[in-house]
A and B are shown apart, each in its own frame.
Chain A
Amino acid sequence: MKTNLTVNGQQVQIDVEPRVTLLDALRDELGLKGTHAGCEHGVCGACTVEIDGEAVRSCLILGVQCDGTEVTTIEGVAPAPGEMDIIQDSFCATHGLQCGYCTPGMILAAKTLLAKNRDPSDEEIREAISGNICRCTGYGQIVEAVRLAARRLRESNAAAVEAGQ
């Protein structure tokens, strides 16, 4: 089935069986391997992507359901190869990861949170990532990363406003 969608800012057409999940379509049809399969039944959040501004588990949605949507995967987060965005850099600053397997989903969950809430409390951060299981970190340094990213995003926005941009 032919499906048209926007992935990381680019319009693409995929031709997949109706039973293929968005997760498999991203990985196998579009070669975007940064989105990871964890449980494939919608619990662990490793496959989280952003669809039209919402954090969505790509294992629970079929590729053909995504017609006309705008999808952002981890490959669409960094501004340029070798250049991290503020959230990615904050995860590196606090070591908010170990094996890196849940990390893309965790960063997408953080990104959608921070797009809606520029000054989240720790409780709101924990709630926003509570659907993403991490077995390595115990979440402490992930919460620190999101907290740091929120502060840096606020500061960079304030600086941009001050500069009249």
Chain B
Amino acid sequence: MNEHAKPFSGRYVSSDRRVREDTRFVAGAGHFVQDIERPGMLHVALVASQHPAATIEDIDASEALAMEGVVAVVDGNELSNAVNPLMNGLDTPEVRRFPLAVGQNRYAGEWVAAVVATSRALAEDAAEKVKVKGEKLGYVMDPEKAMEADSTPVHPSHGSNVLLDRTFDWGPVEDDFARSDETLKLRVTWGRNSTVPIETFGVICEWNAWENVLEVWASIQMPKYADQIARALGLRGNDVRVYYDVDVGGSYGVKRGIKHTVLAAYLARKLGRPVRLIEDRLENMRSGDAHGPERIFDIGVAFDRDGTINAMKMRALDNAGAYAGRAPFQLGKPIGAIVGPYRINSVQYRAQSVTTNKAVQEAVRGFGQSPTNYALETMMDRVAEHLGMDRIALRRKNFIRSDEFPWEIPSGSKYDSGDYHAVVDKVLAQSGYEDIVAERDRLRADGLCAGIGIAACLEPSGGNSSFEPLLNPKNRTSTWMEGSRVNVDALGDVTVTIHTTSSGQGHETLAATVVGEVLEIDPDRIRVVRPDSLGSLPGNSPVGSRMAIMLGGAAANAARDIKRQISAIAAHSMGVAPDAVTYAEGVVRGPDGRTVEWSEVVDIAHRRFHDLPEGTNPGLTASFIQQVPTGVALPKDGKAQMYPCYSFEFHVVLMAFDPVLAKPEIRRYIIGHDCGTVINPHIVKGMTLGGIAHGIGAALLEEFSYDAEGHLMTQSFLDYLMPSSNEVPEVEIVHHCTPSPFTEFGQKGSGESGYLGAPAAISGAIHDALRPWNIHLNKLPIRMSAISDAIASAKENT
């Protein structure tokens, strides 16, 4: 099985090549949704609710409608009579969600009406004149209170706030707890944050009545987007055309504006004109429905005195916000790596998702894995602390060993490959870990708080969305395919297709590189295009760190098919069997040394049917639909094979801060990273560094905070703080390559790297720095005020 025991060595794969997309962006020539002008285009502004929950008795739009340039005002009643509820992956039919609130709103800022005008400025002016009448309702913001039986239900007809409450028992958990020397409990909380791209979500919809087609341009990163639009509007699948050549200004999971799209599409059909809805920053932060997980973890862990972790009980309570969204499933992905890189024998996992009167969650980088890793790694630190054991030694003791792969974890997923011990050794050696320890001690001697943070974690990648059928038995998903097509035109030039939008991941570079690798031709000669959704092969968009595996696999396999066709045509022209020839750099060589050039094969394929082997279609084209490697079956007995590939990362951070001011400063940041074969080193490096920056934000700065009255307090970039170039340090990357046995070149995913371990590592460094006071700060983000307050009160108490 392990055909890639050694790292893949290619001509183009892994080589230092530029990222082709960069050229248009440095010239300001990207093609973003905001840059698209359609004749007669109308603009939408939203009327937002002022209370966390209130009935909607009457909407008086007369003053707005009388204003110059205002074309229409639409409310939730009108919209919900015309469109179907938005897709809800769980089996909770009474938790209905429409783009505009219907009957009542469920969080402050939720859209209650849409104002359409000839310019955005006029629409905003008019939106201020729309009067909404209603009665305030009870509301709940805290997920534990929302669980209580007498809590105000956010969706009264659903009966309670519980969307999901499922307990999994994998292995002899109780026995393992009983036989262990020690047990420990801890609670940690992951604050509500998000990736907050610099481009807000935007969409333009246009209804072409003569062709019966809805045209959509959007800043989107969403699986099955066109299907969802069609279902919501009651259109045929082939009535919706999504343009995939729109550049997306950052997403990291969240650009899934289905509610915006359904609203704009309805308005475009109703008004017979193109309609543009681009969020402003306030709409994006408050009501774009793009917040990330907010999660309380209660963990029990059972271990022996030698540091062996035997079992874990984890309860994860997630605050989904006002509607289900993708929140419950973000409790599902971590099941595929529930023990991290450790040999934990048994696990009990209780996943709870509840509604509250907060904004809706969307998929955020890692899809719930980063919070879970933060909980796991904090658990490891606490066990080490309890035993007085070195944190790295404890991790090394429990790591799965390189000769044990493929390794099946208690929840049923098999890890493909890895060498965790080797990565840790490399990081410690290359970073000069002893010097880091000495530096920490020197800083402490200078009177500063200084600490080292450690985190080891996995990046599950390329999965087939098995958490959907696992958490909802009515869902029968067992594929999450991706397609690509390779054409060789009549001039012999190669064009590859991608069937999704991209948001900075470099998919054009990826596709060109792997096709160039297989065909042994310079990738710079290969063009990459994105047909619209009606001209596309099936695909599932760039989610779950899947494209290197899935698009890389599809394009490589399509190219292999082209190579096979070329060899067969050339062999036929030489009068020899197809398996008697060899292909090298576009030239086919026969057993007797004769060669047939690329141009000759192209000429035969495109012009000379009479020279083609029998049964061969003319033209040189190949499509390939890649199925998820290892993704062959539905979940069974509460277990699932979730991801084919598991990347590994190991973080070491040195932090220091003044004990009074407590502004955390990162002095060193080293990450060991193993994502198998790297297709493009620049892209993987960028993903890793960018992920760490997101992790720094989540650990220290970023949170969507609500006040007791249910209003979002951090709704601009002045109060939702994001790391700038002053907060993100220079990061040292230590590379390692353990190829995956399941992918074309041994590649694994890396789109979420950095983010998955950074929050845990930073939290760990702060705790190491606070060790003299034995302080535990159990909630992210850890703001400087929380640190200084904790030190001050610890000093008072001693």
Chain A interface (Cβ < 8 Å from any Cβ of B): 19, 27, 32-41, 43-44, 46, 73-75, 77-78, 84, 88-89, 91-95, 97-104, 107, 122, 125-127, 129-143
Contact = CB atoms under 8 A, between A and B. Distances in A.
Interface of B: 18-19, 21-30, 32, 34-35, 121, 195-199, 247-252, 280-281, 503-506, 682-683, 685-687, 689-694, 716-718, 722, 724-726, 728, 730-731, 754
B782 to A, nearest CB: 19
B693 to A, nearest CB: 3
Contacts of A39: 198, 281, 716-717
Given A126-B725, A126-B726, A139-B728, A84 B26 contact: yes
Contact of B28 (A37, A44, A73, A138): A73
Contacts of A91: 22, 26
A94 B728 CA distance: 18
A141 B686 contact: yes
Given A99-B249, A140-B728, 16 more contacts: A35-B28, A36-B34, A37-B34, A46-B199, A77-B27, A95-B685, A97-B22, A97-B25, A100-B22, A101-B197, A103-B28, A130-B726, A133-B198, A137-B689, A138-B728, A141-B685
Interface SS majority for chain A:
loop
10 contacts: A33-B28, A34-B30, A36-B32, A75-B27, A75-B28, A98-B250, A132-B724, A134-B690, A135-B694, A138-B691
B207 to A, nearest CB: 24
Contacts of A103: 25-26, 28
Given A84-B23, A135-B252, A141-B686, A38 B199 contact: yes
Interface SS majority for chain B:
loop
B277 to A, nearest CB: 14
Nearest to A108: B28
A89 B22 CA distance: 9
A57 to B, nearest CB: 12
B199 A101 contact: yes
Contacts of B27: 34, 74-75, 77-78, 84, 88
Contact of B30 (A40, A73, A100, A133): A100
Nearest to A106: B26
Contacts of B682: 94-95, 141
A54 B403 CA distance: 59
Contact of A92 (B23, B30, B506, B754): B23
Contacts of B18: 92-93, 95
A101 B281 contact: no
A33 B83 CA distance: 34
Contacts of B717: 39, 41, 43-44, 133
Contacts of A142: 725
**10 shortest A-B CB distances, which residue pairs?**
A34-B28, A100-B25, A101-B249, A99-B504, A98-B504, A74-B28, A138-B693, A138-B689, A95-B682, A43-B717
A135 B690 contact: yes
A101 B34 CA distance: 11
A38 B198 contact: yes
B754 A135 contact: no
Contacts of A75: 27-28
Q: Give the interface centre of A78, A88, A103, A136 by most chain B CB atoms within 10 Å.
A: A136
B725 A95 contact: no
A106 to B, nearest CB: 9
Nearest to A20: B121
Given A36-B34, A134-B198, A101 B250 contact: yes
Contact of A130 (B687, B724, B754): B724
A98 B28 contact: no
Nearest to B509: A95
Contacts of A33: 28, 32, 34-35
Contacts of B198: 36, 38-39, 44, 46, 101-102, 133-135
A77 B25 CA distance: 12
Contact of A95 (B197, B683, B730): B683
B22 A136 contact: no
A41 B23 CA distance: 28
A39 B728 CA distance: 21
A126 B726 CA distance: 6
A74 to B, nearest CB: 3
A130 B721 CA distance: 13
Contacts of A46: 198-199
A95 B728 contact: no
A36 B690 contact: no
Given A91-B22, A92-B19, A100-B504, A138 B692 contact: yes
Contacts of B281: 38-41
Contacts of A140: 685-686, 689, 728, 730-731
B725 A130 contact: yes
B283 to A, nearest CB: 11
B731 A133 contact: no
Nearest to B18: A92
B776 to A, nearest CB: 28
A137 B19 CA distance: 14
Q: Give the interface centre of A44, A140, A143 by most chain B CB atoms within 10 Å.
A: A140
A27 B120 CA distance: 14
Contacts of A126: 725-726
A87 to B, nearest CB: 8
Contacts of A99: 25, 197, 199, 247-251, 503-504
Nearest to A92: B22
A129 B725 contact: yes
Contacts of A95: 18-19, 22, 682-683, 685-686
Q: Give the interface centre of B252, B506, B685, B691 by most chain A CB atoms within 10 Å.
A: B685
Nearest to A17: B121
A56 to B, nearest CB: 16
A81 B199 CA distance: 25
Contacts of B716: 39, 41, 43
A125 B726 CA distance: 10
A165 to B, nearest CB: 26
Nearest to B250: A99
Contacts of B250: 98-99, 101, 135-136
